[in-house]
Amino acid sequence: MDRLQHPLFARAFARAVGALDRRGAAEHRSRVLAGLHGSVIEIGAGTGSSFPLYPPAVTHVLALEPDDYLRGVAEENAATASVPVTVVDAAAEHIPAGTGSADAVVASLVLCSVRNQAEALAEIRRVLKPGGTLAYYEHVRSNRPLLARAEDLLTPVWGRFMGGCHLNRDTLGAITAAGFIVEGNVRFNFAVGRLNPPLAHILGTATSPGPVPQARTDPA
């Protein structure tokens, strides 16, 4: 697997995430997790900020975190989670879980950073049971053309310092293009820090129709 290590970003993010949560992200996380049940996979769990917020109907969370520093913090936080959590070293593009094994996958502020959204979303479809839920909370490309252009220009530099984050991804479009059926989506502006301009965010759930069918290779 690619080594997805961002030591400086990881330490800065771990220090900042508490303030982000107090600004409103914790409430957004709770909204995205409400209603989940059964076996859940969380991709890019970071420090595990969502761990105390899982509802009791969730029986187990497999939390993927490729960054060594953040995974260490997440492992500590798993001990005080509201439900059983196992933290593993893995990326969203290669989820260590069986086909059709999960009731839900949670993506919180991570589809902006995965290297390949289409691969990650196909992998999420693979691990979800048919009818399973992708629960997402993500910042996305602005609908305002000038702002979107500014996000395009800023992203190469921003990503270098912010763990590969893209400011300009149309994540809802990618979720739809990957074959998910969006069930409920809200779009809103949210400033991640006191001095940051508001960014467009989306929050909602989408249903998987089942794994992407594999191309058949007929014997010659």
Ligand X SMILES: C[S@@+](CC[C@H](N)C(=O)[O-])C[C@H]1O[C@@H](n2cnc3c(N)ncnc32)[C@H](O)[C@@H]1O
Choose which of 28, 62, 63, 65 interacts with ligand X (CB under 6 A).
65
Residue 163 touching ligand X (CB under 6 A)? yes
User: Binding segment for ligand X among 39-47, 78-86, 152-160, 166-174 (CB under 6 A)?
Assistant: 39-47
User: Which of residues 52 and 164 has its CB atom nearest to ligand X in the complex?
Assistant: 164
Strands (E), 9-81: 38-43, 58-64
Q: Indicate which single residue of 13, 51, 54, 180 sits in contact with ligand X (rule: CB under 6 A).
A: 13
Q: At 12, is the secondary structure helix, strand, or coil? A: helix
Nearest approach, Cβ of residue 110 and ligand X (Å):
4
Q: Between residues 70 and 199, which has the closer beta carbon with respect to ligand X?
A: 70
Neighbours of 48 (CB within 10 A): 25
Q: Is 46 in the site for ligand X (CB under 6 A)?
A: yes
Q: Which residue's entry shows tokens 């209603």? A: 35
Helix axes 7-20, 68-78, angle to 10 degrees: 40
> Which of residues 67, 103, 123, 151 is near ligand X by CB under 6 A?
67
Q: Among 32-40, 45-53, 152-160, 190-198, which window interacts with ligand X (CB under 6 A)?
A: 45-53
d(CA 136, CA 189): 15
Beta-ladder partners of 107: 43, 136
Rank residues 149 and 189 by Cβ distance to ligand X and give the closer one. Answer: 189
Taking the least distance from each CB to ligand X, the nearer of 102 and 131 is 102
- Closest approach, Cβ 172 to ligand X, in A, equals 17
The answer to whether 132 contacts ligand X (rule: CB under 6 A) is no
Q: Which of 70, 59, 56, 66 is nearest to 90 (CA)?
A: 66
Please name the residue that has the structure tokens 């929050």.
203
Q: Which amino acid is at 57?
A: A
* Cβ 87 vs Cβ 51: under 8 Å: no
Name the site residues for ligand X (rule: CB under 6 A). 4, 13, 17, 43-46, 49, 64-67, 70, 91-93, 108-110, 113-115, 163-164
